[in-house]
């Protein structure tokens, strides 16, 4: 259960085969040289041996006076971490990560944060230990691994309470070779994700959201930092003993959080105004969502040439990007990329990134990108759908793109299954496979969301006629003395504008109920 890796430099060195090769070559070369006067063939053979010796020297590296000189390997200065997971019996769902897969994902998160994973372990629990989350025996096992692997930080796969953090740091700390105590830091999955977000946020909005999430996370966890401090002496008009240091810091953090919320509210107001302005135009918005590293940015780059950072890492991009795409029939849509989701997504992040996630709430269609080549595609789909439910976007039509079909071991079988499901397309954002079909499905779904309009537009309202051409589908057009009579399918927002201006000649139809979400994956 416990996987350990040797530290650099502790592995036993083996004798270099080049030494033997050098000895054999020199022995072989002496015999032909001694017989050079006898046979010309042996002279040629000696030259061949000399060439072989020169080649061996070039492959074996530089030699000085018969000794090798090797370049020292650069020392790995990354922080060494050890991972701990736990599975609570009875909490496993049909589509979810098991403890092995969850710890493996935690390792990828650690590598994304620039850490070096030295090993990992897990434990099956009936219920979490209130003091240390895992059992005392497992704590002792982790402590031995920490000492053996010279680990600096232990990362737990689940969120820990302040008391559990404090007790684990005490239990895992030890004594160094010099007899001095060695501190071992303990953190959880939430703190690790927040650290990654703080490294990746580029815009002021993203930085504000991460900072607020970190502040909310730190607030209840200050106890372990200040237990050694007594009350601070009062000053000025305050008599007697003053506030405890922890009370001062909590107050400062609360003030900081309040200021960050005010700044984020200003951001939300700006985004709301931008969306209202955007909704006045007939161009529909398609919100791209999906599990982290599902290939959303690669897909956006392939479709639009957006130039968004796309790496094989978790949370490679955080800040939303919106680009315009032209569909068949000269129709345009706006593709809006959002932050990737992940299982066990911290509640602090969902709350802090609400301003960004509201882009999905105002979308005409949600494009759910799934890495269908991933062994846990079904579990990742379940995690994304949970977040979408929390955001209250169940009523928005969802088109599912099974991405990375080129990386599947059985692509034909996956395509066969996808063909039986509504609004599901197999694509490859890397090679471009299936993208034309995806655009056709998006266009069809957008037209389904349109409403039939019969309007008489005055000749002074040429902008509305242009909007109908751009964002809708003109079915019939007739020029009359008092204006242009038009029959068309139009986005509901545009139809609402026509109705408000009194140009509609018909009543708007009600919204159809959408029963099939088309997001069921392989069992």
Structure tokens at 319: 């800040």
Contact call for residues 312 and 333 (beta carbons, < 8 A): no
pLDDT at 474: 86
Binding-site residues for GTP, in ranges, read 290-297, 315-319, 337-340, 403-406
* pLDDT tens digit sequence for 190-227: 999 888 888 877 777 778 888 888 888 888 877 544 44
pLDDT at 73: 59
* pLDDT tens digit sequence for 250-264: 788 888 888 988 887
Residues 6+ positions from 399 with CB-CB distance below 8 Å: 365, 366, 367, 368, 423, 424, 425, 438, 441, 442, 445, 518
pLDDT at 500: 85
Which of 87, 210, 208 is closest to 156 using CA atoms? Answer: 87
Q: For strand 153-156 and strand 185-188, is the pairing parallel, antiparallel, or unpaired?
A: parallel
pLDDT at 293: 86
Q: Which of 18-27, 135-144, 284-293 has the lowest mean pLDDT?
A: 18-27
Q: For strand 67-68 and strand 116-125, is the pairing parallel, antiparallel, or unpaired?
A: unpaired
Place 64 in a pLDDT band, splitting at 50, 70 and 90: very low
Which of 436, 289, 298, 440 is closest to 358 using CA atoms? Answer: 289
Question: How large is the angle between the packed helices 245-279 and 354-361, nearest 10 degrees?
Answer: 30
Contact call for residues 426 and 414 (beta carbons, < 8 A): yes
Fold of 285-447: Rossmann fold (3.40.50)
Question: So where are the chain's domains?
Answer: 80-196, 201-227+244-277, 285-447, 450-501
pLDDT at 5: 39
Place of tokens 């000025």: 236
Binding-site residues for Mg(2+), in ranges, read 297, 317
Instruction: Give the length of the chain.
Output: 523
Using CA atoms, how far residue 77 sits from 8, 74, 118, 417, in Å, is 11, 9, 13, 47
φ, ψ dihedrals at 352, nearest 5°: -70, -35
Which of 320, 323, 322, 331 is closest to 282 using CA atoms? Answer: 331
Bigger pLDDT: 456 vs 93: 456
Q: How far apart are CA 267 and CA 320, in angstroms?
A: 13
Place of tokens 């006629």: 465
Pick the CATH number of 80-196 from 3.40.50.360, 3.30.230.70, 3.40.1740.10, 3.40.50.11060: 3.40.50.11060
Q: Which whole number is the average pLDDT over 263-272?
A: 77
Binding-site residues, in ranges, read 290-297, 315-319, 337-340, 403-406
Question: How large is the angle between the packed helices 40-60 and 17-34, nearest 10 degrees?
Answer: 160
Q: How far apart are CA 261 and CA 246, in angstroms?
A: 22
Place 241 in a pLDDT band, splitting at 50, 70 and 90: very low
Mean of pLDDT over the chain: 76
Q: Which of 18-27, 174-183, 365-374 has the lowest mean pLDDT?
A: 18-27
Place 51 in a pLDDT band, splitting at 50, 70 and 90: low
Q: pLDDT over 90 for what percent of the chain?
A: 25
User: What's the pTM value of the predicted model, to 2 decimals?
Assistant: 0.70
Q: How far apart are CA 305 and CA 4, in angstroms?
A: 44
79 pLDDT above the threshold of 70: yes
Place 53 in a pLDDT band, splitting at 50, 70 and 90: low
Per DSSP, helices labelled H in 127-172 are: 136-149, 162-172
Q: Which whole number is the average pLDDT over 169-180?
A: 74
Place 187 in a pLDDT band, splitting at 50, 70 and 90: very high
Q: Is 385 helix (H, G, I), strand (E, B) or coil?
A: helix
Q: Which whole number is the average pLDDT over 321-329?
A: 79
389 pLDDT above the threshold of 90: no
Structure tokens at 47: 């030259």
Q: Read out DSSP for 407-434? A: G-SSHHHHHHHHHTSTTEEE--TTT-TT
Residues 6+ positions from 63 with CB-CB distance below 8 Å: 57, 69
Place 232 in a pLDDT band, splitting at 50, 70 and 90: very low
Q: Is 333 helix (H, G, I), strand (E, B) or coil?
A: strand
CB atoms within 10 A of CB 338: 24
Q: Which whole number is the average pLDDT over 322-344?
A: 80
pLDDT at 47: 64
Place of tokens 């200050």: 222
Q: Read out DSSP for 218-268? A: HGGG-HHHHTT--EEEP-TT--SEEEEHHHHHHHHHHHHHHHHHHHHHHHH
């Amino acid at each position: 259960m416990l996987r350990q890796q040797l530290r650099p430099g502790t592995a036993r060195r083996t004798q270099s085969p080049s030494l033997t090769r050098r000895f054999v070559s020199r022995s072989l070369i002496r015999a032909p040289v001694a017989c050079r006067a006898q046979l010309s063939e042996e002279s040629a053979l000696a030259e061949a041996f000399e060439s072989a010796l020169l080649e061996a020297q070039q492959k074996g590296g530089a030699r000085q006076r018969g000794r090798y000189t090797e370049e020292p390997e650069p020392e790995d200065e990354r922080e060494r971490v050890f991972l701990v997971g736990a599975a609570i019996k009875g909490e496993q769902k049909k589509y979810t990560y098991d403890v092995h897969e969850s710890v493996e994902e935690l390792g990828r998160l650690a590598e994304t944060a620039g850490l070096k994973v030295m090993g990992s372990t897990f434990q099956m629990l009936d219920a979490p230990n209130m003091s240390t989350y895992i059992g005392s025996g497992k704590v002792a096992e982790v402590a031995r691994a920490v000492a053996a692997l010279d680990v600096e930080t232990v990362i737990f796969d689940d969120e820990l309470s302040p008391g559990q953090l404090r007790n684990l740091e005490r239990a895992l700390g030890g004594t160094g070779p010099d007899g001095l105590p060695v501190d071992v830091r303990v953190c959880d999955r939430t703190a690790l994700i927040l650290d990654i977000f703080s490294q990746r946020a580029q815009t002021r909005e993203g930085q504000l959201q991460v900072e607020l999430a970190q502040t909310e996370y730190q607030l209840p966890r200050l106890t372990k930092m200040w237990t050694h401090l007594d009350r601070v002496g009062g000053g000025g008009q305050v008599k007697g003993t003053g506030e405890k240091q922890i009370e001062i810091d909590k107050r400062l953090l609360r003030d900081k959080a309040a200021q960050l919320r005010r700044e984020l509210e200003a951001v939300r107001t700006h985004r709301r105004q931008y969306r209202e302005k955007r909704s006045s135009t007939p161009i529909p918005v398609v919100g791209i969502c999906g599990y982290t590293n599902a290939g959303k940015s690669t897909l956006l780059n392939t479709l639009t040439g957006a130039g968004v950072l796309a790496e094989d890492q978790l949370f490679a991009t955080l800040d939303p990007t919106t680009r315009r795409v032209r569909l068949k029939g000269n129709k345009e849509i706006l593709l809006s990329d959002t932050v990737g989701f992940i299982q066990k997504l911290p509640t602090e992040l969902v709350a802090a990134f609400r301003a960004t996630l509201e882009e999905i709430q105002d979308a005409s269609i949600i494009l759910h990108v799934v890495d269908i080549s991933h062994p846990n595609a079904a579990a990742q789909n379940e995690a994304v759908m949970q977040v979408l439910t929390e955001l209250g976007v169940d009523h928005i039509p969802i088109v599912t793109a099974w991405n990375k079909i080129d990386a599947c071991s059985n692509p034909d079988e996956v395509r066969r299954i996808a063909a039986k499901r509504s609004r599901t397309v197999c694509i490859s954002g890397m090679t471009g496979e299936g993208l034309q079909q995806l655009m056709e499905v998006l266009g069809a779904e957008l037209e389904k969301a349109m409403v039939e309009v019969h309007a008489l537009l005055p000749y002074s309202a040429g902008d509305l006629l242009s909007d109908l051409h751009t964002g809708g589908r003109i079915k019939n057009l007739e020029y009359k003395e008092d204006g242009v009579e038009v029959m068309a399918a139009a986005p509901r927002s545009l139809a609402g504008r026509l109705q408000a201006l009194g140009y509609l000649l018909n009543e708007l139809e009600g919204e159809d109920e959408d029963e099939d979400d088309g997001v069921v994956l392989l069992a």
